[in-house]
A = this chain, B = another copy of it.
C-alpha cells in the first residue's frame, strides 16, 4: 500500500524535485496538490491547504514546499487533521516555530520530518562515518555562488526571513552539523549587507568548539561569485585526517584523494527515508542548521556594502 501524499506549494523545488521523485517512488501515491496557480495533470488540486483538509480526500501525509512563513500554521492544521508532515528546508522562519511544531507533532502522535537535501549524499555519509569519535582541529566552509544565476528576480530572499546568503549557506551548515561528531557554536559573524537590502550578501563566520581544546573553525559565504562556483568543506582532525567535501557534498577527498563520487540523488533518498519513517512510526527533526543560522544573526555585526541592483 502506497502512502497517499499531497504536495502543498508547487514552486520551483516541487516542480524540479518533489513531483518527479514522488512519481518514481512506489511507496507514495500523489493524491492531491495545493497551488494558488494551477494544478498538476489530473491530480485533484486545491487553492489552499484549508480547502484540501476540508475536502475529505483520503491522505496519509503532506509535503510542505511553499516558502517558510506560513509553514507552522499549515503544519499545525495538517497534524490536527491526522496527517504526517514533511517540511522542505528551511522548515520554518524561526527556531521558535520549529520547536512548537515538533512538540505539536509529538502531542498528536504524528510523524514530522525536516528535510535538509544536502545531507543526502553518499560522500556526506562517509565523511560523517570517518569523523565519528575524532577530534576536529580545523573546519573551513567556503560556499560561494552567483545569486544572479541561482535566484533571478527573487526579491523575497533579500527580505527578513529570506535568509540572504544563508539561504545557500544553510545547506553547508546542514552538512557541517551532520558530519561533525560534536556541535560547534557561533563565536562571531560579519554580515556584509547591501545598503538597499535587509539580508546579507556575504558572511564571514568564526565558530567555537563545544569540546575542550583549540580548533580553527570558520565559514566564508559569498553570493557574489561569478565564474566557477565553490561549495567546499574542509576538515582536519587531531590525528591527521584531511577530509575535503567538494561540489556541494557529492565528492569526498581523503588526504587529497578522491574517495567517494556519487551522482546526487538527494530527493530520491529523502523520500526513501520518509517512507521508512512512516513505516517505523518515528519522526526525524533536525533543528541544528536553522539554529546555527539564527545564532549567526544573533551575534552578527552588520557591515554595509554596495547596493545590489
**A294 interfacial contact with B, CB 8 Å:** yes
The chain B residue sitting closest to A162, CB to CB, is B299
Distance between Cα atoms of A288 and B189 in the complex (Å): 23
Q: Please, how many residues of chain A have a CB less than 8 angstroms from a CB on the other chain?
A: 34
Known A-B contacts A161-B299, A297-B297; A291 and B95 likewise in contact (beta carbons under 8 Å): yes
Given known A188-B160, A302-B198, contact A96–B183 (CB-CB < 8 A): yes
Chain A positions 99-121 with a Cβ under 8 Å from a chain B Cβ: 99-100
Indicate if the CB atoms of A300 and B301 lie closer than 8 Å: no
Choice from B72, B212, B294, B301 contacting A294 with Cβ under 8 Å:
B294
Which B residues are CB-close (under 8 A) to A99?
A: 183, 291
- Which B residues are in CB contact (< 8 Å) with A30? none
- CB contacts (< 8 Å) of A77 on chain B: these are 212
Identify 14 residue pairs between A and B in the complex whose beta-carbon atoms are under 8 Å apart, listed by A's number.
A77-B212, A93-B298, A93-B299, A95-B95, A95-B291, A95-B294, A96-B185, A96-B288, A96-B292, A96-B295, A97-B210, A99-B291, A161-B298, A161-B299
9 smallest A-B Cβ distances: which pairs? A94-B295, A297-B297, A297-B298, A160-B299, A294-B298, A96-B185, A198-B301, A160-B301, A96-B295
The residues of A with any CB-CB pair to B shorter than 8 Å are 72-73, 76-77, 93-97, 99-100, 160-161, 183, 185-186, 188-189, 193, 198, 210, 212, 288, 291-295, 297-302
